[in-house]
Amino acid sequence: MSIPERAFASYHLWSLVAPAVGQQRWHCQMRRGFVKARQGESEVKALLTHATASQRIGLLAQKGVYEFHYNRHLLNQADGVEQVAQLLKLSNSTHEVQHRVRQILQKYHESPLLLGKSILQLTRGDEGFPKPILIQQEDYAFRLYATMDCIFLDSDRSETIHILDFKTGKSPFDERQALVYILAARYLYPAYQAVASFYNLELCKKSEIITVTKSQLDSLELELAHIAEKHQEDLKKYYQQASNFSKIFPPNPGYHCRFCPFNSICEFSTFKSSQ
């Protein structure tokens, strides 16, 4: 299999190419077209940079956890939540965002999941694109992007790192994200085994710990190589003939258009946000 030079894969791309289990009816390839092919257009750019309340809550929650561990004494102080809220400039946010983030900070202050763990990496969440990992095998090559919220040494298993992804809101955990992180860890931390899990900061809910065998990781890598290649081919077709946008990235309109960030500019949308 020959892979175009610029081929890349990430969990985000995987989620745009293929739906999560149970989400098939709502999956729309045209969204991938807007996000990955037309992201440079001013209208699309504006829609992509307009963070929703849920995205803002997720980002502030992640930053909050980071601040608690960067300023560890705040976890023991009675006004620790207030101090982190100030560091986050929470008062600049809407009432809903302030309310939900404050609750998250309160819960984390009461029960800090990472306290006592040997943390190898904890991100603020606003660092931007991570450095790509070049995956090169005999039959394929692609760049893998994986932004991991937190990595710590697993105290229950020797020579094992635990990759933790923080969540907010009610969306179910998508195991594929954990699989991509474990694959990334194979290259970034080759001396360690890796496991992964999710933690919902609003619901204080942990997922099961996800483990993968070597042969499962090999298959996953190959699947991501195929996704990278297919996406690169689609982009090439689009740049050759932009008028074929809806053929290359077919729309799947329906009730879910109501929640699509592109409904105001998508000619196939069953819902217009200005309605």
Residues binding ligand SF4 (CB under 6 A): 28, 30-31, 251-253, 256-257, 260, 262-263, 266, 268-269
Minimal distance in Å, beta carbon 45 to ligand SF4?
16
In angstroms, what is the minimal distance from the CB of 16 to ligand SF4?
Answer: 11
The DSSP string of 216-250 is: HHHHHHHHHHHHHHHHHHHHHHHHH-GGGHHHHS-
CB of 128 to ligand SF4, least distance (A): 25
Q: Minimum distance from CB of 196 to ligand SF4 (Å)?
A: 29
- Where b means 16+ CB within 10 Å and e means fewer, 96-135 reads ebbebbbebbebbbeebbbeebeeeebbebeeeeeeebeb
Choose between 93 and 269: whose C-beta lies nearer to ligand SF4: 269
The angle subtended at Cα 219 by Cα 250 and Cα 172, nearest 5°, is: 60
Segment holding 99, helix H or strand E: helix 95-110
Question: What is the end-to-end Cα distance of the chain in Å, rounded?
Answer: 47
Looking at the Cβ atoms of 122 and 257, the one nearer to ligand SF4 is 257
Q: Which is nearer to ligand SF4, 30 or 97 (CB)?
A: 30
Nearer to ligand SF4, 27 or 107 (CB): 27
CB closer to ligand SF4, 111 vs 274: 274
Q: Which residues contact 132 (CB under 8 A, 6 or more apart)?
A: 8, 143, 144, 145
Instruction: CB nearer to ligand SF4: give 112 or 254.
Output: 254
CA distance 221 to 137: 10
Q: Give CA–CA dist 166/61, Å, rounded.
A: 9
CB 26 within 8 A of CB 19: yes
Shortest CB 261 distance to ligand SF4, Å: 8
**CB-nearer residue toward ligand SF4: 13 or 161:** 13
The distance of closest approach from Cβ of residue 247 to ligand SF4 in the complex, given in angstroms and rounded to an integer, is 14
Least Å distance, CB 145 to ligand SF4, is: 23
Residue type, 53: A
Q: Are 235 and 7 in contact (CB under 8 A)?
A: no
